[in-house]
Amino acid sequence: MKAYFGRRYMLSASHRLHADRFTPEQNRQAYGKCNNPHGHGHNYVVEVLVSGPVDPEKGMVIDLADLDGIFAAQVMERFDHRSLNLDPAFAGQVPTTENLCQVVFGLLEDCLPAGRLESVRIEETENNFFESYRQ
């Protein structure tokens, strides 16, 4: 058997989908109302999936408090109750939830033991979500 531990977090942020290299018409076509000026926002539900052996002594895949600490320091501090467009991670790319998902994956992977982070899944609304999986 292979074992996984999943943890669910929530953060609220605003974003505006807009590519500087696109014309206003192209932006409107690519992003629709998500291109409205001044932005809008979401409650992003972030699900982090970690794999690994179950420690035979502790009976755990990962220490929950450790993971919570990493997530708070790397993700919550940085993005919760913020405008994503102003974060350096989105200086050169549009803050779509696909891109946010990849950024969060990278931030967590750097702080977890190698090969343990399996995926990051972000629900933007209850009707759509994005996932980044380790290959």
Token pair belonging to 126: 């209850």
Minimum CB separation of residue 120 from a copy of itself in Å reads: 9
Please give the residue ranges that form the binding site for a copy of itself (CB under 8 A): 1-10, 12-15, 17, 19, 21-22, 30, 32-34, 36, 38-43, 54, 56-61, 63-65, 80-83, 86, 93-96, 98-99, 101-102, 105, 125-135
Cα–Cα dist 102/19, whole Å: 18
Choose between 75 and 96: whose C-beta lies nearer to a copy of itself.
96
Minimum CB separation of residue 68 from a copy of itself in Å reads: 10
For residue 20, the SS3 value is: coil
Concerning whether 124 is annotated as a catalytic residue, the answer is yes
Is the dihedral angle over the CA atoms 33, 83, 122, 118 positive or is it negative?
A: positive
DSSP 8-state code for residue 101: H
Concerning whether 42 is annotated as a catalytic residue, the answer is no
For residue 43, the SS3 value is: strand
Concerning whether 25 is annotated as a catalytic residue, the answer is no
Catalytic residue IDs:
34, 81, 124
